[in-house]
Structure 1
Amino acid sequence: MNVLRAKFRRTPAGFTLVELLVAIAIIGVLVALLLPAVQAAREAARRMKCQNNLKQLALGTHEFHEANGSLPTFFGIYPPVGNCGVRSGCNLAAPYGGWFLHLLPYVEQNNLHQNVADEVRVVPRNARITLSAPTGCRTVADRDYNGNHTRSYTSCDSPGTYEEHGIWVMSVRTTPFALLRCPSDPTAQKGVISNWGITSYLANYNAFDSGVRIPANQPLWTNPSRFSQITDGLSNTLLFAEGYAYCDGFPRIALHSWYYHNFGLDWYQTPNTTMFQTAPPAKTKLQCPPGRECCDNWRAQTPHIAMNAALADGSVRSVFREISQTTWDNALQPNDGNALSNDW
């Protein structure tokens, strides 16, 4: 009987090599099928975050307008001073910088804005100055833009001693702002310069331009616009759009927005409506592969298949590259009198 029982007892069988390979192949196929879906879900979440940031900037602008009666100054002091305007010298005791500086109290950064306001009120000056040049050096050039505040000297490599004020104070200009970073932006975390409010979102100069420019031949120094001046309608005018934080070798910064933050205003202070770019390579023009269009710092860029943009009414929408140049022109110009076409 024991012999019969032993004869009919089953020995547990393991996987054969073929079965194991088949199982691994099936798992590989399933992973390959699931990976695009996982990546798409992650990108959808990142896109929603980018859109939410734009929404917060637009709502902050509305709160600023409600409290002050106008949009913030695109670049300069706020409020403008009589016949002088928004240039730094018009009020040395007023906070001076880009549009985001003036929005700080309305995007949960009131303490930082108050620090700037208190500092320039005590020491009225809107730029950092050279207190002394290195021994034996003579100042020959003054590069005074966008946070790159350095002095050049003949036969000397080191800068002089500086006294910092306003947004030039280290604790201010080195503050990172999560609100300004789009997680899909391939350059947002890689910029060489991470100071000065490096931003993945650009303000449309045309919407902020009141037309009152002092001096009249310098569009940069425009008094801030009011919503009532956007005669084409708030829902038909772009207020903010995406842009690479680091483009063509330059950072896009929001605390000191001229030169590198160019959306609606080029390097020569000429208002424009240049068409945006969709996922261009984040390379300089010199590094750009033949036949490719790389990031152009005079344009807006989106890392998505469509441009995320905030309208002046506070809404956020996606704009596809297939729209016509005319439609894009009309969306960027707040009072040209032209309706947006059906491709909008």
Structure 2
Amino acid sequence: MSRQHNVLTKRAFTLVELLVVIAIIGILVGLLLPAVQAAREAARRSQCQNQLKQVGLALQNYESAQNRLPPFAEIPRGQTFQPFSAMVRILPYIEEQQLADLVDFDVAVPFTEHPEVAQTRIALYMCPSEENDRARATPTLTYYPLNYGLNVGTWFVYDPATGKAGDGAFAPNHPFKFSEVSDGLSKTLAACEVKAYQPNVWDTNNPSTVGEPAPATPAALAAYFGGTFDFNGHTEWVEGDVHETGVTATFPPNTRIPYTNGGVEYDIDVTSMRDGESTTVPTYAAITARSYHPGVVNAAMLDGSVRAVADDIDLAPWRAAGTRAGGESVGLN
């Protein structure tokens, strides 16, 4: 009995040995975890690029079928209106025909006829890295956000008094043809990543006239702060409103626009007047491309290609990519 007891004792781990093994396992897990997280983010980024590719192809197929790109929105001249977005118009080209069949573009109050459209989550429109992938309920309707905004230019978007459009690939009441994109399809942005529930200020009424130059820095943009502050940017994929389904090249990707509200600093977007909400005040907007992918945002070009654009890209080529006919010869490469 004594000999058997000694043998069993020699085979057991001591408490010190067990703690050493646990410590080694902890160190190994700590070393492997960043690699695992990096691999997961790489997979999410790749999926995001593939989704943007599908959006780009849908836009190309729409143009091929209609001989023009979809208008960013259709707003009746001389009246205020909440229009459907171009993201609604390409539904048949992303295998969402059943949902598209519920949409009537001619109704006076477009979102309420079939409220199930606004609240539907379109998986293709949601980046897998989005941290706020959830519906937004309002007193009248429930909406679902999106992570891809169409390029409406560098700063000026639309003048409701004259119908003049901005310099982007998309604009209210202007379904551009590819032949009108003289800068080249491979050099012109179609869509970029944006964040859901983006803090923003809107209806600042400033600038109030057409022709205001784009601010050169976030500090210069502060001159146009005002209006209403909320956290609902990019939460309505159905609405043709620049702060919901658009993006502008006013500043490079992930540029921080500091704004303090209630003692807390936020990174915001700015819209001088929501398109469709005034018959006289023009729309200017600094709607920055943003993503959760470290150091880059994914962007689709009008030729269907997709690329990751670094945060530190110079402002000039970024704004050049935001114009359809600016005459610039530079590209994002």
Correspondence 1:289-328 to 2 at 5 A: 289=264, 294-296=267-269, 298-304=287-293, 305-328=295-318
1:276 pairs with 2:258: no
What is aligned with 2:41? 43
Distance 2:322 2:90 in 1: 21
What is aligned with 1:136? none
Distance 1:285 1:67 in 2: 46
1:235 pairs with 2:186: yes
- The alpha carbon displacement at 1:195 in A equals 4.1
Question: Does the 8 A contact of 2:252 with 2:314 survive in 1?
Answer: no
Distance 1:47 1:113 in 2: 28
Correspondence 1:55-70 to 2 at 5 A: 55-70=53-68
The counterpart of 2:21, out of the listed 20, 23, 41, is 23
Question: Does the 8 A contact of 1:212 with 1:222 survive in 2?
Answer: no
Distance 2:172 2:64 in 1: 23
Correspondence 1:112-127 to 2 at 5 A: 112-117=99-104, 125-127=107-109
Counterpart residue identity of residue 323, structure 1: I
- The alpha carbon displacement at 1:172 in A equals 1.6
Aligned residues: 275
- The alpha carbon displacement at 1:216 in A equals 2.6
> What TM-score do the two structures reach when normalised by structure 2?
0.71
Distance 2:25 2:259 in 1: 42
Question: Does the 8 A contact of 2:195 with 2:290 survive in 1?
Answer: yes
Distance 1:234 1:71 in 2: 12
The counterpart of 1:179, out of the listed 87, 111, 124, is 124
Correspondence 1:70-85 to 2 at 5 A: 70-76=68-74
The counterpart of 1:198, out of the listed 118, 140, 145, is 145
- The alpha carbon displacement at 1:262 in A equals 6.4
Q: Which digits, 9 at most, give the CA deviation of each residue in 1:286-329, with x for residues without a partner?
A: 26855xx6243522212112010001110110111111110101
Counterpart residue identity of residue 294, structure 1: D
Q: Which digits, 9 at most, give the CA deviation of each residue in 1:103-149, with x for residues without a partner?
A: 011011111111224xx6xxx52316xxxxxxxxxxxxxxxxxx6xx
| Secondary structure of the corresponding residue to residue 73 of structure 1 | coil
What is aligned with 2:163? 216
What is aligned with 1:111? 98
| Secondary structure of the corresponding residue to residue 261 of structure 2 | coil
- The alpha carbon displacement at 1:11 in A equals 3.8
1:340 pairs with 2:330: yes
- The alpha carbon displacement at 1:201 in A equals 0.6
Instruction: Note the residue ranges of structure 1 that are not aligned, 5 or more in a row.
Output: 77-85, 129-146, 148-163, 266-271
Distance 1:300 1:125 in 2: 32
- The alpha carbon displacement at 1:258 in A equals 0.9
What is aligned with 1:142? none
| Secondary structure of the corresponding residue to residue 302 of structure 1 | coil
> What TM-score do the two structures reach when normalised by structure 1?
0.69
Alpha-carbon distance change, 321 to 236 in structure 1, aligned in 2, over 3 angstroms: same
Counterpart residue identity of residue 125, structure 2: L
Q: Determine what percentage of the aligned residue pairs are the same residue.
A: 32
Q: Which digits, 9 at most, give the CA deviation of each residue in 1:203-241, with x for residues without a partner?
A: 00139x999988435765332111111111111111000
- The alpha carbon displacement at 1:277 in A equals 1.2
Distance 1:42 1:7 in 2: 51
Question: Does the 8 A contact of 2:239 with 2:245 survive in 1?
Answer: no
| Secondary structure of the corresponding residue to residue 111 of structure 1 | helix
Alpha-carbon distance change, 323 to 56 in structure 1, aligned in 2, over 3 angstroms: same
Question: Does the 8 A contact of 2:78 with 2:160 survive in 1?
Answer: no
Over the aligned positions, Cα root-mean-square deviation in angstroms equals 3.6
Per mean C-alpha deviation after superposition, the further-off stretch among 19-28 and 6-15 is 6-15
Alpha-carbon distance change, 112 to 340 in structure 1, aligned in 2, over 3 angstroms: same
- The alpha carbon displacement at 1:244 in A equals 0.5
Question: Does the 8 A contact of 2:135 with 2:144 survive in 1?
Answer: no
Instruction: Return the index of the structure with the highest Cα Rg.
Output: 1
